[in-house]
């Protein structure tokens, strides 16, 4: 018997392949049904998504192809905290996108998004910190 290593987003070996065609609404409905007493409002609040947006995804009145990857990951983590087994792969497939790996582009985009939300004084401080980190990394 071999012990195969699974990547964190891979489905279980017994994963039901018929679910691969689930859209986000169907996936959320299925996962919410596995929770006890949790609602769309609970999911929205805990995952940091506005309830009207989540409700529009559930009712298929708003497209999901451009959902922020961090929102997808937040929903995965919320369901996991609630004891529901799910994977990032399920969510990314449900919105018709490949599961992104830990790419430099994604990290840069996330950093830039955070940077732009900071006031100018904090942006300057962040740049100084980054320059100091770069200096330290060159020494070691």
Average pLDDT on 75-99 reads: 91
Q: Is the pLDDT of residue 73 over 80?
A: yes
C-alpha–C-alpha distance, residues 26 and 32, integer Å: 10
* Residue 28 near residue 58 (C-beta atoms within 8 A): yes
How many CA atoms within 13 Å lie on the side-chain side of 33? 6
Alpha carbons 136 and 74: distance in angstroms, whole number: 33
Tell whether pTM > 0.85.
no
Question: Does the pLDDT of residue 1 top 80, yes or no?
Answer: no
Torsion angle (degrees, nearest 10) of CA 26, 99, 105, 78:
50
pLDDT tens track for 26-41: 999 999 999 988 999 9
């Amino acid at each position: 018997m071999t012990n195969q290593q699974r990547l964190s987003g891979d489905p279980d070996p017994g994963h039901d392949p018929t679910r691969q065609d689930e859209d986000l609404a169907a996936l959320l409905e299925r996962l919410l049904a596995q929770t006890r007493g949790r609602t769309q409002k609970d999911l929205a609040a805990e995952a940091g998504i506005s309830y009207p947006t989540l409700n529009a995804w559930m009712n298929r009145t708003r497209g999901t192809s451009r959902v922020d990857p961090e929102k997808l990951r937040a929903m995965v983590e919320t369901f996991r905290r609630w004891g529901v087994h799910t994977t990032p792969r399920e969510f990314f497939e449900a919105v018709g996108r490949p599961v992104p790996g830990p790419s430099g582009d994604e990290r840069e985009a996330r950093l830039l998004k955070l940077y732009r939300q900071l006031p100018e004084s904090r942006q300057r401080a962040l740049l100084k910190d980054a320059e100091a980190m770069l200096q330290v990394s060159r020494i070691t």
